[in-house]
Amino acid sequence: MERAKGRLPGDARVRIVRSNELRRRKGYVVATEDVFDPESTVGRILDHTRAFLFGQRIPSDEEQGERVTKVTGLAIFASDNISSSAYATEEMMRALAYAGAAGLALTMPITIAIVLILAIVVTSYLQVVRAYPNGGGSYVVASENLGTLAGLVAAAALLVDYVLTVSVSVAGGVLAISTAFPSWEPAKVAIGVGFIALITIGNLRGIREAGLIFAGPTYFYVLSVAGVLAIGLFRVLTGDIPVPVAPPVAVPVSESLGAFLILRAFSSGSVGLSGTEAVANGVTAFRAPAARNAAVVLMVMGTMFGTLFLAISFLSTRIGIQVDLTETKSVLGLLTQSIVGDGAYFYVVQAATAIILVLAANTSFSGFPRLASILATDRFMPRQFAQRGDRLAFSFGIIVLAIVSALLLAVYQGSVSGLIPLYTIGVFIAFTLSQAGLVRHWLRERGPRWRFSAAVNALGAVVTGIVTLVVAVTKFQLGAWMVLAVMPVMVYLMWRIHHHYRRIEDELLIPRGARVALKAREPRLVVPISRIDKAALHALSLAHGLSKHVTALHISFDEDGAQSFKERWARSVGSEIPIEVIVSPYRALLAPLLSYLDAIDDQDPGRPIVVVLAEFVPRHWWDAALHNQTALRLKLALFTRPNTSVIDVPYHLGDPEDFEAH
Amino acid sequence: MERAKGRLPGDARVRIVRSNELRRRKGYVVATEDVFDPESTVGRILDHTRAFLFGQRIPSDEEQGERVTKVTGLAIFASDNISSSAYATEEMMRALAYAGAAGLALTMPITIAIVLILAIVVTSYLQVVRAYPNGGGSYVVASENLGTLAGLVAAAALLVDYVLTVSVSVAGGVLAISTAFPSWEPAKVAIGVGFIALITIGNLRGIREAGLIFAGPTYFYVLSVAGVLAIGLFRVLTGDIPVPVAPPVAVPVSESLGAFLILRAFSSGSVGLSGTEAVANGVTAFRAPAARNAAVVLMVMGTMFGTLFLAISFLSTRIGIQVDLTETKSVLGLLTQSIVGDGAYFYVVQAATAIILVLAANTSFSGFPRLASILATDRFMPRQFAQRGDRLAFSFGIIVLAIVSALLLAVYQGSVSGLIPLYTIGVFIAFTLSQAGLVRHWLRERGPRWRFSAAVNALGAVVTGIVTLVVAVTKFQLGAWMVLAVMPVMVYLMWRIHHHYRRIEDELLIPRGARVALKAREPRLVVPISRIDKAALHALSLAHGLSKHVTALHISFDEDGAQSFKERWARSVGSEIPIEVIVSPYRALLAPLLSYLDAIDDQDPGRPIVVVLAEFVPRHWWDAALHNQTALRLKLALFTRPNTSVIDVPYHLGDPEDFEAH
């Protein structure tokens, strides 16, 4: 380093000659990765642990490299949707079975209805991706076309649903495990939280690596289940119809077939539509051409899910699988067992199912932080959500999602049946608002094929609106009311946050391009001193170097103490720095200091006051409790005082002495 | 206020003309009670609440007025000891009853033995008061005569016992209440914690008021029980022996009379010796002549307790009261019922007993904070324990005692029988060490009557030493082991704390009377700026007023941002303050800033660096979460950096603008 000559001493540039950490380039300095090099051993260990868990840091300009291909994108954004094929048929049949054979006969019609709705929703979302190539979640579409309130309602609905997706799918995966190993049952919540922690770490490593981790299981599930279904279809079509394996206890026939029962079955099955939003929300995560790639993934996802769902429903009813009242054996499990027997293949399918259920949570881990970052950029959520971490992931959102969903899992003791009624209502609210928003969009734009697009989205809006009502009514009592109650609160909070940021903005900003002239006044420095020791002299020395207007202040609890302190000051420091001694008979420190500052202020109003605090830095953090928290209390009290700043002058044991004692 | 002319601007005295808060007197300023006047409405409400709960503030020079008379002192320091007469006989008989009539026949002999030991202990403590008129707790006596380690062991033993006294006596009082109202049983812990809170408030009001609150119940208990016993003695001596009221279930005869049983009975009864320490520990709380008054209180207390104890044991065995196995009816209760019937007088005695048991906790509330303050003054405990609060009470110790004893009560679910085995072992360890210490004291001093005094204390040491062993052995398994395990940990911690303070002292202190010359160097100021707004300009303006060596620093995440910031700076602020822009491609703020400071440091080693942080002060504390915690993170990181200070420049909405924009 050497010092360049400038006009003023303060103008002297730091010229970097041999530094690995900072490099001067054109008018500015670039920080290299070396700025992170830890200096202590503990620091190095922590840094290595961080790198091992979360990977090396990634600079911003490598963001393109973090984008995903179609193959990875499908695994990341579709695992939630595809995994629901593992239980959508069963949830539907569980409702219908109470009405006996007449009820179960409706399984295929309802499945076809849901797949049709899925087709409409996917087509609608293809329009979304086309209209919003920079990522068109329901929030963006609704707020741009229907106004901010609609956008916030959609955002709140989706945020709630993302959290629930994590809790439900992890609970589902843990249930699959505890079914196999009943002795692990008491540790259900702990296992679930462990899974959430693993998924969190994977996502903090960045979206691309998260995709690599999760791609295998998604394809593994699709292929293994598709194999079972192909064998089943072949046997059924060739007349070799498998004998159904019976569950431990079949659901008894106890209700007559009514409209409400059918609607409830439909609501339960429509869980298979959730997760569609994720792709449209995540367009920007795809490699170029992003919109096209996202559209392809959306179609492949819809086709995969639709095929699996139809085939499972068809085979289950054709073969005559019964629903297990005890929830020990799943319909998909019984179906697999009926078709391929209970050999190795059966266990492979069960394992794949358990894994994909846990990993379905991953869809939320890309959806939630992304939506939260968009909201934070628009100032509807705290701005921490908009910051990318070391690995370009939205770390704050990931961690918040992990904590909230783990808490929810713990509150519900890991029960799937307790959580599931809260689920899906949010997704359908968001669907409806987003489709309705797009109708407005096409009507306004009137680009090519606008009539067709508007018609598709209008159909989508009507259909998903009806589904929303059906789900809300049939699941209201079971828990959907909680979601409906929490959403207005969230919308209100987001509104307040926005209002707060806006107000602060208005008050803090200076007119753009305005020329500013600083009106600097020389501040008065006050140095509270409790006794004359090295820490105090260190602070006095700094104050003395900064200004000629320094007063030391001592507060004594009695007059004898005041007298002897004055004498000691005169002997040690002399008249170089004037001392003021206050006697505080009520043993208070803060109140007399504040009164003294008021007196100074009255003497010369508007002149800045700087309080210089000597702070002793203990060698270990746990020693901090042994030192008076006086400095902290002073800082807190002075923080709200107008026109008053505080200099913290830390004294470390072994700091060079900036005074001479003789 | 007006400004006096001084030699230097910094020397200008704040001359107080019309201030109610500060008054200049001789060379110093005196803060009046007006410095506490709150300015906001919320502040006034809080202040009134504080004054209502804890009373008006008391200046230090009124400490004499806070001292107590003999009558109040007895109530404060003796309630623990005297209250144990309510259960000492019963605890003894409960052990002996298992051996039937042969066992119970030993009640009176053991009572007499304990009263004799009490006489020895009281006589010993009279010597303590004489030798240590400034307060001679076991800690002081043991550490002065037997060395620091012995002193710390005594201190640890007493601190543990004070905590246990609170838990046990509150649990006992709650038990008395829940016996009367069984439906309150589930709220036992809550009621107990409520009592602790009340006693805490009383003690925070100051020792004298605490005495006034508690004096009534103590004398009320002594008088009402003495009345019952007088009637009982009269009836027994006149041959009108009362018919014993039988308990619900008498303790069955199930053991033979052995040495261990007798020793256990003795241990249980010796609980009546606890609380003797409190008077000797609290000599300084008495009005002058303090030592004499304390001695009188000690003798009166011993006489009162001894009389009650002897009379209860005598009448219980003479009339033939049986011990209740179910712990529903106490021996004292049955005795009262036998002598005066179950009319109003019976209920008066029961009420008095319940109240004194709860208030026995109060003895600890004067003992614990007093001992802790002595230890803190000697640097064996954190120094907060040595500070007197607004009302001259040792507030910190009072609050710590309340929290720890409430936790203990909660952990033991308010069970007396669970807590009682932990009790008394600490007191006897402290007794023994203190007596042994006094023997050394007399042998060394050889003042008038030293032979007699040494003999008394030697007898005391031997007797209490034996009792310590008996209690430790007979109660070890029941819980005394925990106390014996926790004591070495406490001693170790106190030792470490002392070592820490001593080391800091050595390193911080400058030679007494040394003349100091400050070597002030002009610091360099660095102002990190995230964007050009009013808060940033406020900080820049202060820095500019303080020094000519100011550099602004901006950290940008990409080169485009860096370029546009530089242009904006040139347009708005111009060249008045030089700007340095760092590009941080890994989106880190802290690491590049620290590297930059290192570079400055290398340029001019040893020159102080001051980092000026603009901090936006939100109007409400709950808004703080919405603002980036960047400033806090910077401060934490810079706190440990040598030779670096931080100025916090808070910007409040509506602060006067110290710049002109045009």
**Which value does ipTM take for this structure?**
0.73
- Helix locations, A604-644, DSSP H: 630-639
Q: Residue B640 and residue A652: Cβ atoms within 8 Å?
A: yes
Residue A180: pLDDT band with limits 50, 70, 90 = low
A209 or A546, which is more confident?
Answer: A546
**What is the mean pLDDT of the segment spanning B336-358?**
87
Residue B2 predicted with pLDDT over 60: no
Query: Highest mean pLDDT: which of A328-337, A401-410, B201-210, B581-590?
Result: A401-410
Task: Kindly state the helix (H) or strand (E) to which residue A62 belongs, with its residue range.
Answer: none
CA A278 to CA A370: how far, in whole Å?
10
Other Cβ atoms closer than 10 A to A49: 10
**What is the mean pLDDT of the segment spanning A455-473?**
89
Share of chain B above pLDDT 70, in %: 88
Nearest CA-CA distance, residue B373 and chain A, Å = 14
> Can you give the pLDDT at residue A1?
36
B609 or B206, which is more confident?
Answer: B609
Q: How far is CA A25 from the centre of its chain?
A: 36
- Characterise B650 by phi-psi region: left (phi > 0), alpha (psi -120 to 50), beta (else): beta
Residue A179 predicted with pLDDT over 70: no
> Can you give the pLDDT at residue B179?
65
Nearest CA-CA distance, residue A487 and chain B, Å = 20
Asked if B30 contacts B23 with a C-beta cutoff of 8 angstroms, the reply is yes
CA B460 to CA B428: how far, in whole Å?
11
Residue A491: pLDDT band with limits 50, 70, 90 = very high
Residue A209 predicted with pLDDT over 60: yes
CA A350 to CA A347: how far, in whole Å?
5
Residue B167 predicted with pLDDT over 70: yes
Residue A378 predicted with pLDDT over 60: yes
Residue B661 predicted with pLDDT over 90: no
Option in A22, A519, A595 nearest B595 (CB):
A22
Share of chain A above pLDDT 70, in %: 88
Predicted confidence (pLDDT) per residue in A113-139, tens digit: 999 999 988 988 888 888 887 766 788
Q: Which of B508, B566, B613, B639 is the best mutation test for A, with the most CBs of A within 10 A?
A: B508
Residue A177: pLDDT band with limits 50, 70, 90 = confident
Query: Highest mean pLDDT: which of B108-117, B285-294, B601-610?
Result: B108-117
DSSP A428-488: HHHHHHHHHHHHHHHHHH--TTHHHHHHHHHHHHHHHHHHHHHHHHHHIIIIIHHHHHHHH
- Nearest Cα residue in chain B from A623: B500
Predicted confidence (pLDDT) per residue in A12-29, tens digit: 455 554 467 777 777 777
CA B321 to CA B251: how far, in whole Å?
11
A167-171, A424-428, A521-525, B629-633: which has the minimum mean pLDDT? B629-633
**What is the mean pLDDT of the segment spanning A425-434?**
89
Predicted confidence (pLDDT) per residue in B415-434, tens digit: 777 787 788 888 889 889 98
Query: Highest mean pLDDT: which of A442-451, B135-144, B268-277, B536-545?
Result: B536-545
Q: Residue B640 and residue A646: Cβ atoms within 8 Å?
A: no
Asked if A397 contacts A385 with a C-beta cutoff of 8 angstroms, the reply is yes
Residue A7: pLDDT band with limits 50, 70, 90 = very low
Domains plus CATH for chain B? Answer: 1-37 (no CATH), 60-504 (1.20.1740.10), 524-652 (3.40.50.620)
- Nearest Cα residue in chain A from B617: A640
> Can you give the pLDDT at residue A65?
61
Residue B626 predicted with pLDDT over 80: no
Predicted confidence (pLDDT) per residue in A321-345, tens digit: 988 887 777 888 889 999 998 888 8
**What is the mean pLDDT of the segment spanning B584-596?**
84
A242 or A5, which is more confident?
Answer: A242
**What is the mean pLDDT of the segment spanning A333-358?**
87
Nearest CA-CA distance, residue B204 and chain A, Å = 15
Q: Which three-class secondary structure string do you get for B209-242?
A: HHHHHHHHHHHHHHHHHHHHHHHHHHHHHCCCCC
CA A308 to CA A286: how far, in whole Å?
25
CA A413 to CA A170: how far, in whole Å?
12
Q: Residue A582 and residue B500: Cβ atoms within 8 Å?
A: no
**What is the mean pLDDT of the segment spanning B228-242?**
92
Q: Residue B522 and residue A534: Cβ atoms within 8 Å?
A: no
Mean pLDDT value across chain B: 83
Residue A173: pLDDT band with limits 50, 70, 90 = confident
Residue A415: pLDDT band with limits 50, 70, 90 = confident
Query: Highest mean pLDDT: which of A104-108, A179-183, B68-72, B345-349?
Result: A104-108
Mean pLDDT value across chain A: 83
Question: Number of Cβ pairs closer than 8 Å across A and B?
Answer: 417
B624 or B323, which is more confident?
Answer: B323
Asked if B283 contacts B136 with a C-beta cutoff of 8 angstroms, the reply is yes
Residue B178 predicted with pLDDT over 50: yes
- Nearest Cα residue in chain B from A561: B28
A16-20, B6-10, B17-21: which has the minimum mean pLDDT? B6-10
- Chain A residues within 8 A of B621 when measuring between CB atoms: none
- Chain B residues within 8 A of A8 when measuring between CB atoms: 548-549, 578
Q: Residue A659 and residue B519: Cβ atoms within 8 Å?
A: yes
Q: Residue A628 and residue B659: Cβ atoms within 8 Å?
A: no
Nearest CA-CA distance, residue A414 and chain B, Å = 29
Nearest CA-CA distance, residue B96 and chain A, Å = 47
